[in-house]
């Protein structure tokens, strides 16, 4: 009969350590492949936009706070409009990561940021809705508890 002992439980500490890393927004930003929004606690949200363009002609022309014409702001979200521009030259199919950063005013009831991507004429292309990361005492306590639990489990094995 095979006994598992601690070796059979190594998966649990690994999950706890990875979970603790994911709950810390600083770790998420290290290799950002998605749009993020983070509150600074002083009334400002930093939105780091990531858009994957399908060819080498598309660029982000303008980013501004607010909804595009004809789209009403959803409740409990902040809104950003990013205007994409296509160059006139012949385009090569190439997936490219475009990035832009904007600081916008925070609102206490906001849970997420709606980012509307429109073309130069204002026509809707697509949207993203990242949740707002807020560094609250509860989140810090939760991260610390998970990290402590992971250390304890690893020490026992």
Could you tell me whether strands 132-133 and 36-39 are parallel, antiparallel, or unpaired per DSSP bridges? parallel
| pLDDT bucket at 72, cuts 50 / 70 / 90 | confident
Give the pLDDT confidence score for residue 68 in this predicted structure.
93
Percent with pLDDT over 90 in the chain: 52
- Contacting residues for 75 by C-beta, under 8 A, at least 6 apart: none
d(CA 39, CA 105): 9
pLDDT of residue 11: 37
Average pLDDT, the chain: 78
Q: pLDDT tens across 7-52, in order?
A: 444 433 333 333 443 444 443 334 457 999 999 999 999 999 999 9
Strand-by-strand arrangement of the 93-105 sheet: 93-105, 44-55, 36-39, 132-133
The model's confidence at residue 135, banded by pLDDT at 50, 70 and 90, is confident
pLDDT at 142: 52
Quote the CA–CA distance of 58 and 91 in Å, as a whole number: 9
> In which band, very low, low, confident or very high, does the pLDDT at 154 lie, cut at 50, 70 and 90?
low
Strand order in the sheet with 124-128: 58-65, 77-86, 112-118, 124-128
């Amino acid at each position: 009969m095979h006994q598992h002992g601690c070796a059979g439980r190594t998966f649990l500490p690994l999950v706890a350590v990875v979970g603790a890393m994911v709950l810390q927004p600083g770790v998420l930003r290290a290799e950002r492949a998605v749009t993020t929004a983070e509150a600074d606690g002083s009334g400002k949200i930093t939105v780091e936009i990531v858009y994957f363009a399908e060819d080498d002609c598309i660029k982000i022309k303008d980013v501004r706070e607010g909804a595009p014409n004809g789209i009403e702001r959803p409740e409990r979200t902040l809104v950003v409009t990013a205007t994409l521009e296509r160059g006139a030259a012949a385009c090569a199919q190439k997936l490219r990561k475009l990035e832009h950063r904007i600081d916008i005013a925070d609102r206490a009831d906001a849970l997420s940021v709606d980012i509307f991507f429109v073309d130069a004429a204002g026509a809707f292309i697509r949207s993203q809705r990242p949740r707002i990361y807020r560094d609250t005492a509860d989140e810090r306590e939760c991260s610390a508890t998970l990290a402590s639990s992971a250390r304890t489990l690893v020490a026992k094995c």
